[in-house]
Chains A and B, each alone.
Chain A
Amino acid sequence: GAVVSQHPSWVICKSGTSVKIECRSLDFQATTMFWYRQFPKQSLMLMATSNEGSKATYEQGVEKDKFLINHASLTLSTLTVTSAHPEDSSFYICSVRDSGKETQYFGPGTRLLVL
């Protein structure tokens, strides 16, 4: 399957600061990437769909100004959590769609802790 990396794997920040998370597709060009959020002991919830060269599409209830997504190239999408608060602490996972394989491939995730 596709190889997807995320950086950083762990981040701890102070409340009010912004944090950028990178998602890279290492072995194919991904026009579409996805960002998920996973709270402890819960399932993944889709936050937004990241489209290369255009604006991201956000799911209902996700604040676009809070979670900024940039998909500047076919191999990189970034999620910036702006003015982070403790309730933003979560596990953020990106995925890439491989329509040729008819599935999504997931990155290893980034654990964010906001103090």
Chain B
Amino acid sequence: AQSVTQPDIHITVSEGASLELRCNYSYGATPYLFWYVQSPGQGLQLLLKYFSGDTLVQGIKGFEAEFKRSQSSFNLRKPSVHWSDAAEYFCAVGSYNFNKFYFGSGTKLNVKP
């Protein structure tokens, strides 16, 4: 069965510190992986995606993610967090035709000044 797990519900980091948000997936076929960010009351904005090739992908706003097939993981990272990064982050796996998206439960990021 398809599923996405984000083990951390809340994370708090200090501004300027590094960040890693964890994502593990279970999918029966080749996974198409995504990270989205949601600000309060807003829709989801695509940060980055991975389909194939280089397992380290770069996204917008200085985010990157690394696909590790052996660990079924797709963790999101940022070397230096800004206060404006405070939001909720969702990992998702998509079907081959992008009609089915399975989302994790989200990780809420708080940034301390």
Contact = CB atoms under 8 A, between A and B. Distances in A.
Interface residues on chain A, size class:
20 to 34
A42 B105 contact: yes
A109 B42 contact: yes
Interface stretch (A13-21, A77-85, A100-108): A100-108
Given A103-B49, A103-B94, A108 B105 contact: no
Interface in A23-57: 32, 34, 42-46, 49
Given A42-B105, A93-B43, A107-B43, A102 B36 contact: no
A61 interface: no
A93 B44 contact: yes
Contact of A103 (B34, B103, B104, B106): B34
B32 interface: yes
Nearest to A6: B43
B17 interface: no
Interface centre among B41, B101, B106 (most CB of A within 10 A): B101
Given A93-B44, A108-B43, A46 B36 contact: no
B100 A46 contact: yes
Contact of A104 (B42, B90, B101, B104): B101
Interface in A1-17: 1, 4, 6, 9
A45 B105 CA distance: 10
B98 A104 contact: yes
A3 B44 CA distance: 12
Contact of A43 (B49, B99, B104): B104
Contact of B49 (A42, A46, A102, A108): A102
Interface string B36-51: 1000011111100101
A60 interface: no
5 contacts: A32-B99, A44-B44, A93-B44, A103-B46, A106-B43
Interface of A: 1, 4, 6, 9, 32, 34, 42-46, 49, 93, 95, 97, 99, 102-109, 111
